[in-house]
Amino acid sequence: MRWIDVDLKNKKGELRVRQRADRRNKIGSPKSARGQRTVPLPPTVVSELRQWKLKCPKHDGKLGLVFPNGQGNPEYHGNIVGRWLKPTIMAAKVTMPVLDAHGNPKRDEHGKPIVKPKYTGLHAFRHFFATWCINRPQDGGLELPPKVVQERMGYASIQMTLDVYGHLFPRADDSGELALAEKAFFGEHA
């Protein structure tokens, strides 16, 4: 992510996705043409990025990355996972037990279960974002239509979006929702 691709000038912050870095730190285009997109940023993220921009290390490198390593280049995947992702997940207590060869939870010298991070891949954040976009507001989500989710995720086709996340979209066949719709359509005497 480059600073030139982050718009923090107005209240409605946006991130323009124009490139990606792979596991080997090679920078290139997103996987598909749809991968190039603009994603709105929540106000809290805009605020945090504004603060980070003041503290972000400045490098003579031409990349202008938002989160550079010590030399101004993309951070190595292993460092991101080991130094930041796993400790953050452990601090948030999103864990699972470490199991022995028999499938039983291992315990430390005090008898407490030994745990490890439940998620160890950055792709979990992509799934979280998609789920947040899809979930109903009463469940903490945005309840966006499938086409908008496709655009925000950068999928080349709506079919891919529905194949991966279709089970999360609210179903229209729930009896409670049907009863409310029937009442709204036919009135109290339905």
pLDDT in tens, 47-78: 999 999 999 887 766 788 999 888 888 888 88
What count of Cα atoms within 13 Å lies in the side-chain half-sphere of residue 183? 7
Tell me the mean pLDDT in the region 17-39.
86
Using CA atoms, how far apart are residues 67 and 104, in angstroms rounded to an integer?
A: 40
Sequence-ordered strand ranges (E) for 45-121? 95-97, 115-117
pLDDT in tens, 9-24: 877 799 999 998 887 8
Contacts by 72-75, CB closer than 8 A, 24 or more apart: 73/25, 74/21, 74/25, 74/27
Using CA atoms, how far apart are residues 123 and 94, in angstroms rounded to an integer?
A: 15
Alpha-carbon dihedral angle through residues 143, 42, 19, 52, given to the nearest 10 degrees: -160
- Residue 172 vs residue 127, higher pLDDT: 127
Extents of the domains making up the chain: 1-75, 76-121, 123-190
Task: Examine the pLDDT at 82 and tell me if it is beyond 60.
Answer: yes
